[in-house]
């Protein structure tokens, strides 16, 4: 089916207070939010044997985690925005709140042994800076479960009493999956579910929004280093001054970079320098054969993609441009770019390429980059 998002998309502009932004988000995207959540709950029901609408699964998940104090401390106003989304969409707060917690719910379900996970996420990230790029370039494929298909959304957040604006690539009803602000600070992510989570940490979606409220890369890196992380994640943080890759777990954030300041950085979905993995491997030893097989598949997929990116970026004579990165991330022989099959399997929701110049430019494909054109987004000032 042709994706209607291939047509030029006008971002949803969200202005005003956090509550006002949330309500506008929920009201404007109400049908898509409800559709996405219905698909998500159907997948949860199939994979856990539980009916999220008729049992306490989501309540049990939220009760087992204590993220709200961290949200209130580190991202003031974001809880109000999420409450506004719930009000605008006509849904209860716990459902919309849980909807933000994709990575955290995956970790909980695996640890609770409630059934096999859907296909593991397979995001591939690239950061290029120095002599090989005119301006720093930050990019990724966003690979997520198939039940998110045809829901691609861009928000244009305008903060009150500030010159700060942000483009946020997301799923209807979610506050962020990656993004870029008008100061040239951008962030891409790779799930690292092998790293130690924190039941009272800051969830990934909130970390993303916190980064996008920073006006320099140094400020954004400092923010990511000072917080306790709810789930393992690699944050590729870029600005006009350069790019940093931070592997984050509950207890620490560790920078990953090849030798040499002008070389590219790349990452997939396994930790390379953060060794905070003991709890994961202890759980792995107790897992069912089916769950072990899923985890092994995800690890092999990640190492294969990592090796491909390393080869693709190895030629120091090759200029790195938006077009060349789009080509690298469109590769199918190793599953960097994955077509949609069904709601149970992962696919490439979109490819994002950020030009971290002043002013910055955001490029997005609304679906796998091999078959969807890049759309360009610029801030007006």
What is the crossing angle of helices 30-48 and 18-28, to 10°? Answer: 80
pLDDT tens digits for 117-132? 544 558 999 999 866 6
| Whether pLDDT at 116 is above 50 | no
- Helix, strand, coil abundance in the chain, percent, nearest 5: 35, 20, 40
In angstroms, rounded to a whole number, what is the distance separating the alpha carbons of residues 173 and 170? 8
Entry pTM:
0.94
Domain that holds residue 20: 1-381
Residue range 292-310: mean pLDDT, rounded = 90
CATH of the domain at 335: 3.60.60.10
Q: In the chain, how many domains are there?
A: 1
Q: How would you classify the pairing of strands 153-158 and 12-15?
A: parallel
Looking at residue 349, what is its pLDDT? 97
Q: What are phi and psi of 56, to 5 degrees?
A: -95, 20
Say whether pLDDT at 222 is over 80: yes
Interatomic CA distance for residues 79 and 76, integer angstroms: 7
* pLDDT score recorded for residue 4: 44
Q: Which pLDDT tens digit goes with each residue over 164-184?
A: 999 999 999 999 999 999 999
Mean pLDDT lowest for which of 13-22, 98-107, 262-271, 351-360? 262-271
Q: What is the mean pLDDT of residues 258-283?
A: 84
The better pLDDT of the pair 219, 380 is held by 219
Report residue 5's pLDDT band, with 50, 70 and 90 as the boundaries. very low
């Amino acid at each position: 089916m042709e994706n209607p998002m291939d047509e030029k998309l006008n971002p949803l502009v969200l202005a005003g207070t956090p509550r006002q932004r949330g309500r506008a988000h929920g009201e404007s995207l109400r049908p898509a939010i409800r559709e996405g959540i219905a698909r998500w709950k159907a997948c949860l029901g199939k994979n856990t044997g539980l009916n999220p609408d008729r049992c306490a699964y989501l309540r049990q998940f939220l009760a087992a985690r204590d993220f709200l104090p961290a949200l209130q401390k580190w991202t003031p106003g974001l809880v109000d925005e999420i409450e506004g989304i719930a009000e605008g969409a006509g849904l209860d707060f716990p459902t919309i709140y849980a909807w933000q917690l994709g990575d955290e719910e995956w970790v909980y379900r695996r640890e609770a042994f409630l059934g096999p996970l859907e296909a593991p996420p397979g995001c591939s990230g690239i950061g290029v800076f120095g002599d090989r790029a005119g301006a720093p370039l930050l990019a990724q494929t966003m690979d997520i479960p198939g039940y998110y298909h045809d829901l691609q959304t861009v928000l244009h957040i305008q903060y009150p009493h500030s010159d700060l604006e942000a483009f946020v690539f997301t799923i209807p009803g979610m506050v962020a999956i990656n993004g870029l602000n008008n100061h040239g600070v951008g962030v891409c992510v790779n799930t690292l579910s092998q790293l130690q989570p924190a039941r009272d940490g800051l969830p990934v979606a909130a970390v993303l929004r916190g980064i996008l409220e920073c006006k320099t890369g140094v400020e954004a890196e400092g923010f990511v280093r000072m917080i306790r992380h709810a789930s393992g994640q690699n944050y590729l943080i870029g600005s006009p001054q350069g790019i940093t890759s931070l592997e984050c777990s509950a207890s620490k954030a560790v920078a990953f970079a090849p030798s040499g300041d002008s070389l590219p950085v790349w990452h997939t979905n396994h930790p390379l320098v953060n060794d905070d993995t003991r709890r994961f491997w202890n759980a792995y030893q107790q897992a069912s054969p089916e769950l072990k097989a899923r985890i092994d598949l995800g690890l092999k997929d990640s190492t294969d993609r990592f090796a491909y990116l390393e080869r693709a970026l190895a030629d120091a004579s090759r200029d790195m441009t938006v077009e060349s990165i789009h080509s690298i991330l469109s590769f199918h022989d190793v599953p960097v770019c994955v077509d949609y099959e069904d709601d149970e399997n992962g696919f490439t929701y979109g490819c994002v390429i950020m030009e971290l110049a002043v002013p910055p430019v955001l490029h997005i494909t609304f679906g796998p980059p091999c078959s969807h054109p890049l759309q360009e987004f610029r801030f007006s000032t």
